[in-house]
Amino acid sequence: AQTIHQWPVAEIKAVGSPLSLGCTIKGKSSPNLYWYWQATGGTLQQLFYSITVGQVESVVQLNLSASRPKDDQFILSTEKLLLSHSGFYLCAWSRGANTGQLYFGEGSKLTVL
Amino acid sequence: GDSVTQKEGLVTLTEGLPVMLNCTYQTIYSNAFLFWYVHYLNESPRLLLKSSTDNKRTEHQGFHATLHKSSSSFHLQKSSAQLSDSALYYCALTNYGNEKITFGAGTKLTIKP
């Protein structure tokens, strides 16, 4: 069975500080990977997706970056956090775009002060 | 670009009454895939229903929806609400071969005894 793990579960960070959120998928080779963000009271907004190792496509520019250093790992980061980065970050995987079915992780809650 | 509209942000119903959550969408592509995801408290969002076939009813766990391309709608229905149906429901849209999945704002459904 496939599992998806996100870390950390929650972070409280200062404006201007760096951030790194991680996501690991086990039990599925070459998954499509996604980062979603949900502002408090907002909708799920797709940030990035990756079809293969080393390739990441940006969907929305939020002064964030993403990388896929390994087949099973997806990293979301920034060097300088903004207040507007606060929210809930969800990593997801799918078998391919045509299926459209996403399997979400449990999320990371980020509070920027 | 694509968009999904869920006009009800909050729906409160009494147990046993029928449920209908609205979803309409806009896309320039004819090969739309529509989804309903359910997000229970303290769990990850997961797929409830999906469809890409016009005028065909799809059912799962007592919920059903029919994609109507003529009206660009994919409303979620259930004949009798249960307390356990209380959750956040997202309608989502993608197109064949497209990695971008667009989510609606979500509808928070609360079922009361």
Asked if B99 lies within 8 A of A102 by C-beta distance, the reply is no
Domain ranges of chain A: 3-112
At A15, the pLDDT band (50, 70, 90 cuts) reads: very high
How far is A62 from A43, CA to CA, in rounded Å? 15
CB A33 within 8 A of CB A50: yes
CB A77 within 8 A of CB A64: yes
Q: Would you give the end-to-end CA distance of chain A in angstroms? A: 38
Beta bridge partners of A46: A36
In this structure, what token pair is assigned to residue B66? 């029919």
- Torsion sign across C-alpha atoms A8, A39, B19, B49: negative
Q: What does residue B35 show for φ and ψ, rounded to 5 degrees?
A: -135, 150
Per-residue pLDDT of chain B (113 residues; tens, 9 = 90+): 889 999 999 999 999 999 999 999 999 888 889 999 999 988 889 999 999 999 999 999 999 999 999 999 999 999 999 999 999 999 999 887 777 888 999 999 999 99
Q: Which residues of B touch A101 (CB under 8 A)?
A: 35, 47, 50
**Number of domains within chain B:** 1
Asked if B101 lies within 8 A of A98 by C-beta distance, the reply is no
Report the residue of chain B nearest A106, measured CA to CA. Answer: B44
Asked if B102 is an interface residue toward chain A (Cβ–Cβ < 8 A), one would say: yes
Query: pLDDT (tens digit, 9 = 90+) per residue, A39-91?
Result: 887 788 999 999 999 999 998 878 999 999 999 999 999 999 999 999 999 99
For residue B39, the one-letter residue type is H
**Residue of A102, A103, A106, A108 for testing the chain B interface, max B β-carbons within 10 Å:** A102
CATH homologous superfamily for the domain A3-112: Immunoglobulins (2.60.40.10)
At A12, the pLDDT band (50, 70, 90 cuts) reads: very high
Q: Of the candidates B48, B20, B105, which has an alpha carbon nearest to the alpha carbon of residue A44? A: B105
At A99, the pLDDT band (50, 70, 90 cuts) reads: low
Q: What is the pLDDT of residue A20?
A: 97
Asked if B103 lies within 8 A of A43 by C-beta distance, the reply is yes
Domain span at residue B61? 3-112
